[in-house]
Amino acid sequence: MRCRRNYRAKLPGRYSIVIGYGGKKGEHTAEQMRIAMKQRGLKVFVAPSDMIATPDWRAVVRQKIETFDAYVLLCNKEACCSEIVMEEMDWAGLEKIIPFRLNRQKVHPKAAKAHNFRYDTRHPNYDLYKKQIRNSIEDFRDKVRKANRSLQVITQPTSPQLVPTPIPPESPSGESTK
């Protein structure tokens, strides 16, 4: 049996991202990244292009951000000033945000992390971006696993549990049946 070269199995462990952006240039870059990351096997959500029109769009976006692996923020001037981006970042939490600086833009002040990545809009390297996203998600998952293990250690009893000894039943005369 031969495998097709471009075939990508949809494994249950594949990565999922929500892409956040600001302004028209950010929207164009987000669409390009959405297409490229889907081709590389990631599950991608970009509002509003991946949404069905709904009056409660915030709830839909929040649900995606909270359940997907990461929130990829395309940082440009418009994203730094966007109230919607600020709200989305709150929903994501700092650990799930993966900031990409468009060209030489600064990182969003709320997303300033040790790891942030440069996104070249003229010559995008989507394989590199996928690797950076994957590594960031794996780092986050490792932190969660370590935290869970340390919680298990804390919650496990350190001494044997005291088990109450049963009291032998009494006879009708009030004496113990021992």
Question: Can you tell me the mean pLDDT for 52-68?
Answer: 88
> Which pLDDT does position 144 carry in this prediction?
85
Question: Can you tell me the mean pLDDT for 83-96?
Answer: 92
pLDDT surpassing 50 at residue 4: no
Q: Provide the whole-model pTM.
A: 0.74
Is 81:105 a contact under the CB 8 Å cutoff? no
Domains and CATH numbers, the chain: 16-155 (3.40.50.10140)
Please name which of 116, 63, 61, 117 lies closest in space to residue 94, comparing C-alpha atoms.
116
pLDDT surpassing 80 at residue 39: yes
Residues 111-136: tens digit of each pLDDT: 876 678 999 999 999 999 999 999 99
